[in-house]
Structure 1
Amino acid sequence: MKRFSILLALTFVFGSRLAPTGSAAVPEKPNVVVILVDDMGFSDLGCYGSEIPTPNIDALADHGVRFTQFYNTARCSPTRASLLTGVYPHQAGMGHLDNIIHEGSKGTTGRLRDDVVTMAEVLHDAGYLTCMTGKWHLGQQHGTPPWERGFDRSLNSPSGGIYFRKQPYRTEVFLNGEKKQKDDPIFGQKWYSTDLWTDWGMKFIDEAREEKKPFFLYLAYCAPHFPLMAPADEIAKYRGNYRQNWAKLREARRQRQIELGIVDEAWPLSEIPEQVPNWDELSDDEKDRFDHMMAIYAAMLDRVDQNVGKLVAGLKERGELDNTIIFFMSDNGGNAESGPRGIYEGKNPGGANSRVFLGQSWATLNNTPFRSYKHFTHEGGISTPLIVSWPAGIPAARDGKLVKEPGHLVDVMATVVDVTGAKYPTEYDGHNIQPMEGVSLMPAIDGQKLHRTHPIYFEHEGNRALRRDKWKLVMKHQEPWELYDIDADRTEQRNLIDDEPDLAKELIADWEAWAKRADVGPWPGRSREAWGEEKKPKEQGKAKKPKEAPAA
């Protein structure tokens, strides 16, 4: 039974829970909001163990559910492709970033393939007004911008960045397909882009209400991706909070995670890599530098949280909150690019003319308690918080509950199709469409088990993984396969590959069959962006002119 068809029964059972908070009547179909943040680690939200206060996101979790084993693809463009299409990244043509094209490949084309449909295309055909704001990064330069892939309204950055109105790079955005300069009066005289994306998202929601349509909003925040930037008053709130040992901060986060039920006390905290310096051996100037970097990062997440609060309040004022299903997640694990020291350039780090990357040392905190980072398929690279809230569709008795069933981005499309009653096509615009790879998450949200017919698969830059039930097969590029019992050892400390040779052989064969089916080609070489591969940055000296920041 499709989810929307039982709303009437839910109304009878849960009464006041389903009463609209404003004047609008609850529509037959729920509104859909998908919020994606960029480069945020598993433990960076208060409700996942962080010391960074995120009260509005935590409130969303308190009135919904939190997943403890939800997975992304370890990288930006691949995650966005998988999230929006319901298939694995290579099947959508986005095996890497959208500026990477492998000649002759169907899996790394730099654009969304024609044999997939986006969530916007599916919901547009179901009568929704489809909207997006924020970071696209799915091949706009190669012919697949948002307005060509189902979005009726959009305000987007082609590939990310953009925090302040005045800064030396990424000077343009696109409003409903029309190129606009960032200083265009239509956006106002002073803004911070995290606020801009939310404000325009609400404008588009109002247009949907005027047209008496349910809405789909894909809100793709650029924060907290480098270059790290935040309003000065926000940064000041956190200055001095991080003049303390990152090892102790990791231990404190893990303890909170245990208390919250997010992690199992039996899982040991992963070791800090040897590249990360001993905090106690740093000079006072170095400690101040690291404190400032993490304060900027915390300020960016604080501002995201404020905007989630603004969005929720706006939905409530409009009478739309109760019948809006909201998903909140991150596109990959914490980002260790730029090495242990990160990058700290500019006269006013965190301001519009600065260039700050958080780096490996703090990324090790972001991903507590797991191993590794963005790019990689160990748990630190692919684990994301997932919060799902829907007052009219999730029983109040489930408020604040943890969902421990494993899930993946491919499941979001299946869930949205389930709850909206939309039709996922077999043919679209003259092309045969690949079937969805995921399953609806609604049984797990309701406290039941998910029934998958296939494992969950991963590949990025030659880093590979497969998750089947409690077993995880994983490989770092050009290194041997590893095997872990995730129920007993989710921090991946005890490699069982030699203890379970028959199982390992079976899982490896399964992964290889999937890779062939899903157009996963061979990775031609190790990325220089990988955390351990870049040369150690030079010591901070005279401020340099900021450079164009990488996209993802």
Structure 2
Amino acid sequence: MKSTSSPQTFLSQTRSSKTLLSKTLWPKTVQPRRLAIRRVACLLLCLTSGLALIQCESRSVRPNILLILADDLGYNDLGLSNDKFVTPNLTALAASGVRFTRHYTDAVCSTTRAGLLTGIDPAHLGFRPLRQGISSDVETMPKVLSRAGYSTYHIGKWHVGNATAGLSPTEAGFDDWYGYLTQWDLGGKKKWPTYRDPWLQSSDTKPSKVPGHLTDLVTDKTLEVIDELSAADEPWFINLWYYAPHGPLQPAPRFAEKYPDTGEGKYYATVEQLDQSIGRVVDHLRERGIADDTLIVFLSDNGGTNTYLDNNHPYVGHKGQFLEGGVRTPMIWRWPGQLEGGRLVDEVVSYLDLLPTLAAVSGAPPTENAIAGKNIWSAVQKGGPFPARTLFWESITGDSNAYSVLDRDGRFRLVSRDGVNRLFDVQDRNTANRNVSEAHPDVMSRLQNEYEAWHASGHEVPVDVTRVNESGATLVEGHAVQRTPGYAGFSFAIGVTPVVRGKDGIRSGVVVDDPPYWRLALTARGALQLDMLGERLNGPVLIAEKCSAIVVTSYFARSRRYPQNETGQIDMYVDGLRVATSTAAPPLQAPAQFDRLTRVGFDRQSAEPGSFEFTSPRFFNDYFSTSRAGKPKADDIELLSREVCSVPAAG
């Protein structure tokens, strides 16, 4: 790419061009209506994909899609397998559809939701399991379906990270939404979850207290939205994410009175209410005459908690664990006339498969994401063959590292936590819950190596880097949420060479400028100075005419419920040695700004960069700890430091 001598000139020219292009193509006075756009998109899709035009107009070919997600519903929590549960509607759904016995999700709410929407392993989006949300430039299920002419609506819980208004379902691509960003919003100012008179909001309203029971309110809204969207001449996608049976267990009185007033009794009642609510939705589709034109997908986001009963029998483990019980959940698909009713699928499938599969069903072009999910529609229709692949799970916090690998045959599961490894043969009921690592050391070694390669392939953020001068100054954009410090893990690496400029010597200047989050600079005496979210770290003087590998790494633990317990750890390394560290408690919370550029080598005020040369900047979505047991090899500070100065500047 051709460089320009002035970063400010380059930035100004780039923004002017983008503004002119936007005004030329879409002047505000001639903005087309959304429905017209979808019809044109559908026509183009048919013409370019070779589909007959009639298929774009036929609901039997392009179904409505209703995706129902339960929260913390365990593998053993349906009447299909446990007669203590009263779930006749889900039993009927399975009898007229396909039930999956080896469906895998992630181990907690937020990660599963991120992966479900994108088809990407959530750890590769920085969800391990904490993150603030998904960057707006990442493709999502509603964006893909919208391109195929679908109206899209999200209802219920969101919790795709610790979402703020700037990371709502709207930013993820939904046309409209109704519900709550996280369960902590349900109680209003109390910041505590509740089913009773919850605080809810929509895409164009602020949260307010709504009389009634949460499960009933969400179901009522779903019926209303079905009526609204079905009146239009286009298919729809409704993303219905219930909170049930997540705690606190507060079933409506009409269900609670059927069971003992115990934790176990309340759980049974909460699940029965969920089942009846799903039955109301299915009945409404039938009453409108569109049940046969609607693909229903039902699943749970992770294993049950095992708080009051053995939710995940016959498997050990629970929500938050990478054992079978924590990640193996119910899933049912129903589409009359397209899927054979009453069939069981015992092959391994993943929640990551939903995006590419629903894209194929809708006729949408494949997503541009580098996804882990597979299109399994043909296999589900025909009974196989299903794609063989290795599945991965990962959780990394400031001081702990856990992961799991399910091998491509679906037989062996490796579970590792802080360097302690166990192996399970999950195809054999007799050994599914017993450590068999001593009998299969070769399998242990192979799966460990596969994990290392998988982690290394996804922990670097794929940013767009544009070089703006010969010294290597750059503009960085893309994946803004992942390249933002202040929430979970964040790391940055760059090689900096101070250059003597004649009699002026080495001028002070900016290394990185990314307000309001962080700034890295060299002072007048040539020393490093890092400012990040209210914390300042002072580093050494860099050696002239020598490339120094600089690594900044941080981990911030946030809590919506207990902000006073928040902590932050920031470390700065030069050539593999830690030169400064800071612990902030509680750390500063910067305003969410995810439409910004990161400047390397200059800032918004300086017309000229300092006297440095730079290698290409690198961003990572995790924290590089030197003391964490069992950490991946790719997170080694010394290894990264050796690599940094060998990487040339962006071209």
Provide the TM-score with structure 2 as the length reference. 0.58
1:154 lines up with 2:177 in the alignment: yes
Distance 2:558 2:87 in 1: 34
**Alpha-carbon contact 1:4-1:419 (below 8 Å) kept:** no
Q: Name the SS for the 1:311 alignment partner.
A: helix
Distance 2:337 2:292 in 1: 5
Q: CA-to-partner distance for each residue in 1:238-295, whole Å, 9 max, x for gaps?
A: 22xxxxxxxxxxxxxxxxxxxxxxxxxxxxxxxxxxxxxxxxxxxxxxxxxxx61111
Partner of 1:38: 71
Structure 1 residue 399: Cα displacement: 1.3
Distance 2:149 2:278 in 1: 26
Q: Structure 1 4/442 Cα, relative in aligned 2: closer, same or farther at 3 Å?
A: farther
Q: Structure 1 227/459 Cα, relative in aligned 2: closer, same or farther at 3 Å?
A: same
Alignment of 1:252-271 (within 5 A): none
Which segment drifts farther, 300-309 or 438-447? Answer: 438-447
Gaps of 5+ in 1: 10-23, 98-108, 184-189, 240-290, 337-358, 427-432, 529-552
Partner of 1:413: 355
Partner of 1:182: 209
Q: Structure 1 449/455 Cα, relative in aligned 2: closer, same or farther at 3 Å?
A: same
Identity %: 33
Q: CA-to-partner distance for each residue in 1:57-79, whole Å, 9 max, x for gaps?
A: 11000000111110110001000
Q: Name the SS for the 2:299 alignment partner.
A: strand
Distance 1:224 1:502 in 2: 41
Q: Structure 1 527/182 Cα, relative in aligned 2: closer, same or farther at 3 Å?
A: closer
Partner of 2:444: 504
Q: How large is the RMSD of aligned CA atoms in angstroms?
A: 3.2
Structure 1 residue 485: Cα displacement: 2.4
Gaps of 5+ in 2: 1-45, 461-488, 491-553, 560-651
Alignment of 1:380-399 (within 5 A): 380-394=325-339, 398-399=340-341
Alignment of 1:328-367 (within 5 A): 328-336=298-306, 359=307, 362-363=308-309, 365-367=310-312
**Alpha-carbon contact 2:136-2:172 (below 8 Å) kept:** no
Q: Which amino acid aligns with 2:201?
A: F
Distance 2:238 2:190 in 1: 27
Q: Structure 1 145/166 Cα, relative in aligned 2: closer, same or farther at 3 Å?
A: closer
Distance 1:221 1:50 in 2: 23
1:458 lines up with 2:389 in the alignment: no
**Alpha-carbon contact 2:350-2:373 (below 8 Å) kept:** no
**Alpha-carbon contact 1:471-1:483 (below 8 Å) kept:** no
Distance 1:128 1:178 in 2: 23
Structure 1 residue 129: Cα displacement: 0.7
Which segment drifts farther, 314-323 or 74-83? Answer: 314-323
The number of equivalent residue pairs is 410
Q: Name the SS for the 1:384 alignment partner.
A: coil
Provide the TM-score with structure 1 as the length reference. 0.68
Structure 1 residue 315: Cα displacement: 0.6
Partner of 1:233: 254
Q: Which amino acid aligns with 1:95?
A: R
**Alpha-carbon contact 2:355-2:373 (below 8 Å) kept:** no
Q: Structure 1 235/442 Cα, relative in aligned 2: closer, same or farther at 3 Å?
A: farther
Q: CA-to-partner distance for each residue in 1:393-452, whole Å, 9 max, x for gaps?
A: 21xxx31111001111101112101211112343xxxxxx43453332440353112123
Partner of 2:145: 123
Q: Structure 1 441/371 Cα, relative in aligned 2: closer, same or farther at 3 Å?
A: farther
Distance 1:378 1:90 in 2: 17
**Structure with more relative contact order (C-alpha pairs < 8 Å, separation 6 or more):** 1
Q: Name the SS for the 1:366 alignment partner.
A: coil
Q: Name the SS for the 1:46 alignment partner.
A: coil
Distance 1:132 1:506 in 2: 41
Structure 1 residue 480: Cα displacement: 2.4
Q: Name the SS for the 2:164 alignment partner.
A: helix
**Alpha-carbon contact 1:82-1:409 (below 8 Å) kept:** yes
**Alpha-carbon contact 1:4-1:420 (below 8 Å) kept:** no
Higher Cα Rg, which structure: 2
**Alpha-carbon contact 1:111-1:143 (below 8 Å) kept:** no
Alignment of 1:464-479 (within 5 A): 464-467=403-406, 468-478=408-418
**Alpha-carbon contact 2:356-2:367 (below 8 Å) kept:** no
Structure 1 residue 27: Cα displacement: 4.5
Partner of 2:373: 437
Structure 1 residue 161: Cα displacement: 6.3
Alignment of 1:75-224 (within 5 A): 75-97=108-130, 109-139=131-161, 140-141=163-164, 143-160=166-183, 169=192, 172-183=199-210, 190-224=211-245
Q: Structure 1 175/526 Cα, relative in aligned 2: closer, same or farther at 3 Å?
A: closer
Q: Structure 1 199/517 Cα, relative in aligned 2: closer, same or farther at 3 Å?
A: same
Structure 1 residue 195: Cα displacement: 1.5
Q: Which amino acid aligns with 2:287?
A: E
Structure 1 residue 210: Cα displacement: 2.1
